[in-house]
Chains A and B, each alone.
Chain A
């Protein structure tokens, strides 16, 4: 992929905290303009990776680039192009919303006039325009999260790094946050979002990276994840009429590894040995004399992929 199309390029990244190896040879790329999910169990290395990308942590080994800028050698250039929201509320509680945003606008070197314009824009985007003069300490958690997001946008960053932005939010605030993120993608921003809320990420993201115990288990588009490109492919068959012997006949087809019937209707999930398209399997089904109502590639949900790819146990 050409460099200009890559927002984040992580190559052979490793990092340890004393004896504990937090990241081991991590590799992945994030396309510019995409909404990329970064998921993993607790202690998997998500926050460590984010901290390396946003120049807060020096990697022990490997190379990390953000829009072609090295995060160590060219940290200042990286900082100008990113907006980072940590996994905890980072607020100056004695400031008003306007003062807080103005503070960060000035810190990013915006002129007074630009700051005024940008702050109005981000307050509109986050639906906070009526709260400019409110003290941060008096805002609810959801409102503070919006202020935090507005702060991330003040310097008009090309890349947003969001660490658990939806944690602790009520369902409404969470839905509204996801809407804002969609809007940001429409504006051409690259959004790298670490989260535990897989259902929402599945709907929101173009691509995803799954990390577990410091190693990457999957990195690619949501389609690749759903189709299980690197595993045994799964197909879904719906028969026109129920047939008690169907499962037996399906298992007899060459290359079929597993057949899982559904109880409520004549539908079967068929796992095959190799991914050579569905033609051979469909031919085998028809040859077996089964009446096909629908036949499609089986898609894994992010939840399923997460459970398949990550190991059990609390870290």
Chain B
């Protein structure tokens, strides 16, 4: 294959495909994708086939519903997996300092972009092919026209190309693979959810109602794909040699300058002052809380203000509304806050060690005459501070909910107290578990990008488990007829427990069981990491007495 490509003249594409074939990760991702697709399909098929339409003839004509479900799963797969596979495609060359070598070859920048892009399209299309047996099955059941089949296939292919092109553009723009990865997802969310005409999934849902949507999307999709690739070509040359930057720190410093200018008006008042100190007796803590953007008091205060101000505004505005609206607003705010908090804590905790590895300062920390436990505890001090700050908006929402419930007398004083205590406990426990789990992933994986991706993937998977398992949301379950599955999900799933709290479905056993279980998980993870600290740091003394 490589020889064939070399003869035709796609050396970079040949290299990309050979590299992918040699990497275990390629096969792991493909298997994971196939598992997610087939398990998801199995759950959906059970749901569709198991609603009283059993029997050989009973399912005839039901293929359309299943077809839509499979295509939807494929879209989700494209949006989740393609950025993860493609975001590093050029940024990694920058990290390895090999992009300059590529630019000096006879390959033009556009050829480099296109061959990199094609190199990522091949695995994307293998993902799409994986669903063929499932689609064939739905087609045999009837209810799906050939036109719909081809429309879905073309929409999926175009969406795959569009997302891969977006990832190549971000990769060409960013200095690091981590930056490209985050950028691709953020822009992806923007393009696909805020600009519906650009979203293949959205168009797929419209096809049945409006056939013209199909041709419209084809044009938009091809246009955006070409646009992303053209932008990637420009960035490839202009941003080939970038100095390391801490974008977050630069943003904060920009905000600093803005407030300093404002201070001329206010007479130099400083609400939060970061003293320019040197480390006292805990140097690693000092670095984590003074020299990191998400560690310093001043910058954390700004994060808090940025979250707390709109939150208070929305809550105060909702206070004037009817009860249902208040509950709904507070619940939605809680969901958003949970996503934000878990993502921030997971990324920060993962980066604690992974960033030391990528900046090659890992060995220096390991040879310090501090115990492994001391190093770990000091390294996590910034995360603890972040959790402290993030807990404030949570407590604000809980306090509002408690106040509204108390004023309504719908729930007893005891129930209100349990709600408040359980909600607060869940924040500290879940964020604590996320901290230690993400930290462990960051220690185990060599690259910071891979560690962050793995950590966020695990967190997302844990959160999505009840939905993936087909468990209806707590508001769809009648508390009186709650079964064992409801009880088990409530106890073991954090996302389900949060939903229960939001919808105020209190079950003593679930509250006690869930909090006790996660307290044990938190304690277990913490003890495991601290007891094996020297081993996690890969220090010689932890590995035995020889030598």
Contacts and interface: CB of A to CB of B under 8 A. Distances in A.
A225 interface: no
Given A79-B367, A103-B283, A112-B280, A72 B547 contact: yes
A103 B287 contact: yes
Contacts of A105: 283
A148 B360 CA distance: 13
The residue in B246, B249, B546 that gathers the most chain A C-beta atoms within 10 A of its C-beta is: B546
B287 A75 contact: no
Interface stretch (A94-102, A237-245, A276-284): A94-102
Interface string A79-95: 11010101011111111
B547 A62 contact: yes
Nearest to B534: A75
A101 to B, nearest CB: 10
B540 A103 contact: no
B244 A93 contact: yes
A82 B360 contact: no
Given A58-B540, A82-B367, A104-B283, A90 B360 contact: yes
A70 B545 CA distance: 10
Contacts of B366: 55-56
B485 interface: no
Interface residues of B, number: 33
A90 B357 CA distance: 10
Contacts of B540: 52, 55-59, 71-72, 75
Contacts of B173: none
B368 A79 contact: yes
A106 B280 contact: yes
A61 B360 contact: no
Given A90-B360, A137-B244, A75 B539 contact: yes
A248 B523 CA distance: 86
A86 B360 CA distance: 9
A54 interface: yes
A174 interface: no
Contacts of B201: none
B278 interface: yes
Contacts of A89: 360
A232 interface: no
A103 B371 CA distance: 16
Interface in B258-295: 278-284, 286-287, 291
A12 to B, nearest CB: 11
B359 to A, nearest CB: 8
Given A56-B538, A56-B540, A92-B291, A86 B369 contact: no
A295 B364 CA distance: 52
A73 B282 CA distance: 25
A60 interface: yes
Nearest to B292: A94
B545 A72 contact: yes
A140 to B, nearest CB: 14
A288 to B, nearest CB: 57
B544 interface: yes
A80 B364 contact: no
Given A75-B540, A93-B244, A108-B368, A59 B547 contact: yes
Interface in B517-547: 538-541, 543-547
Given A56-B539, A95-B291, A112-B280, A73 B545 contact: yes
A315 to B, nearest CB: 21
B278 A99 contact: yes
A76 B249 contact: no
Contact of A72 (B249, B287, B363, B541): B541
B260 to A, nearest CB: 19
A76 B367 CA distance: 9
B370 interface: yes
B547 A71 contact: yes
A187 interface: no
B36 to A, nearest CB: 32
Interface string A112-124: 1001000000000
Interface string B343-369: 000000000000000011101101111
A64 interface: yes
Nearest to B541: A75
A63 interface: yes
Given A71-B540, A92-B291, A137-B244, A58 B280 contact: no
A59 B547 CA distance: 6
Contacts of B278: 98-99, 102, 106, 112, 115
A109 interface: yes
Contacts of B359: 90-93
Nearest to A54: B367
A213 B31 CA distance: 40
B292 to A, nearest CB: 8
A112 B283 CA distance: 12
A286 interface: no
Contacts of B538: 56
A90 B369 contact: no
B284 A107 contact: yes
Nearest to B283: A106
B367 A56 contact: yes
A86 B356 CA distance: 14
A107 B283 contact: yes
Contacts of A103: 279, 283, 286-287
Contacts of A112: 278, 280
Nearest to A151: B364
B285 to A, nearest CB: 10
A99 B277 CA distance: 9
A62 B369 CA distance: 23
A90 B368 contact: no
B547 A64 contact: yes
Contacts of A57: 540
Contacts of B361: 90-92
A90 B364 CA distance: 7
A207 to B, nearest CB: 23
Contact of A94 (B283, B291, B369, B547): B291
A104 B365 CA distance: 9
A55 B363 CA distance: 10
B287 to A, nearest CB: 6
A38 B282 CA distance: 35
A98 B281 CA distance: 16
Nearest to A60: B546
A163 to B, nearest CB: 10
A161 to B, nearest CB: 9
A257 B360 CA distance: 52
Contact of B287 (A58, A91, A92, A108): A92
Contact of A106 (B281, B367, B544): B281
Contacts of A104: 283, 364, 368
Interface in B322-381: 359-361, 363-364, 366-371
Given A59-B547, A112-B278, A76 B369 contact: yes
A84 B546 contact: no
A129 B293 CA distance: 28
Residue with the greatest number of chain B CB neighbours at <10 A, chosen from A92, A95, A98: A92
Contacts of B545: 72-73
Interface of B: 244, 246, 249, 278-284, 286-287, 291, 359-361, 363-364, 366-371, 538-541, 543-547
Given A52-B540, A72-B547, 10 more contacts: A58-B544, A59-B540, A62-B546, A71-B547, A75-B540, A84-B364, A90-B364, A92-B291, A104-B364, A107-B283
19 contacts: A55-B540, A55-B541, A58-B547, A61-B546, A72-B547, A73-B547, A75-B540, A79-B367, A82-B367, A84-B363, A84-B364, A86-B363, A88-B360, A92-B359, A93-B244, A93-B359, A103-B283, A106-B283, A107-B283
